[in-house]
Amino acid sequence: MNTTTALTTIDTVALDVPDVTSAEQFYTAAFGVLPQLRLRQMTDAAGPSSGFRGYTLSLIVSQPSTVGSLVDSAVAAGATLVKLVQKSLWGHGGVVQAPDGAIWQVATSSKKDTGPATRQIDEVVLLLAADDVKASKRFYVDRGLAVGKSFGAYTEFDIPSSPVKLGLYSRKALAKAAGVPPEGSGSHRIAIGGGGITGDAGFTDPDGFEWVSSAA
């Protein structure tokens, strides 16, 4: 294994967007300032993209009222409501699609409010769709990540100090959880900034996701 690509953290997620200024305005109004989020001007080199892009970003919060508040502010800022905020066996959650096409889930494991709604986000989670979850899991383990949970079509990596948490899901299961059709093709329009990647030692995973140095 090349030690220059041994992952230690996931520091940033960069989204390719049609207009950086408009995207900045949307995300600030929708979710507030997200230190983990980067926005890149989309270029022709990125190629076309259609349908489900094969990933979701999740904002984990403390209580149901905060889920509702963030989903409402995202829709007011221009997002499309994909899944209504609703109660489930595991808590509360809702899904929106940003104007740039990124799919965001806002969720909490809590079933009751403990106070007024806030804008506080406790965790950012990136879920990647994998054609072969076992093969993709092995790929990331070979690059230094430890597996926290793994069952069926799902794998979650144990990266306690990471600003962004990472998981793998089968494409069909991830699309179902997001409330969108699984079909999609072309560019993912995302670049993941990893701690432990130095210089130009970035890589592309088995499912075509681009990894770069978080210092880039």
User: Over 80: is that where the pLDDT of 47 sits?
Assistant: no
Whole-prediction pTM:
0.94
> CB count, 10 Å around CB of 123?
14
User: Over 60: is that where the pLDDT of 145 sits?
Assistant: yes
Name the amino acid, one letter, at 90: W
Question: Can you give the pLDDT at residue 48?
Answer: 78
Question: Can you give the pLDDT at residue 1?
Answer: 39
Domains of the chain: 5-213 (3.10.180.10)
User: Over 50: is that where the pLDDT of 45 sits?
Assistant: yes
Instruction: Please write the tens of the pLDDT for every residue from 91-113.
Output: 999 999 999 999 999 999 999 99
Give me the chain's average pLDDT, please.
Answer: 93
CA 81, 86, 88, 92 torsion: positive or negative? positive
Backbone angles phi, psi at 175, to 5 degrees: -65, -40
Query: Within a 13 Å sphere around the CA of 170, how many CA atoms are in the beta-carbon half?
Result: 9
Question: Can you give the pLDDT at residue 44?
Answer: 73
Question: Can you give the pLDDT at residue 105?
Answer: 97
- What average pLDDT does the segment 48-66 reach? 95
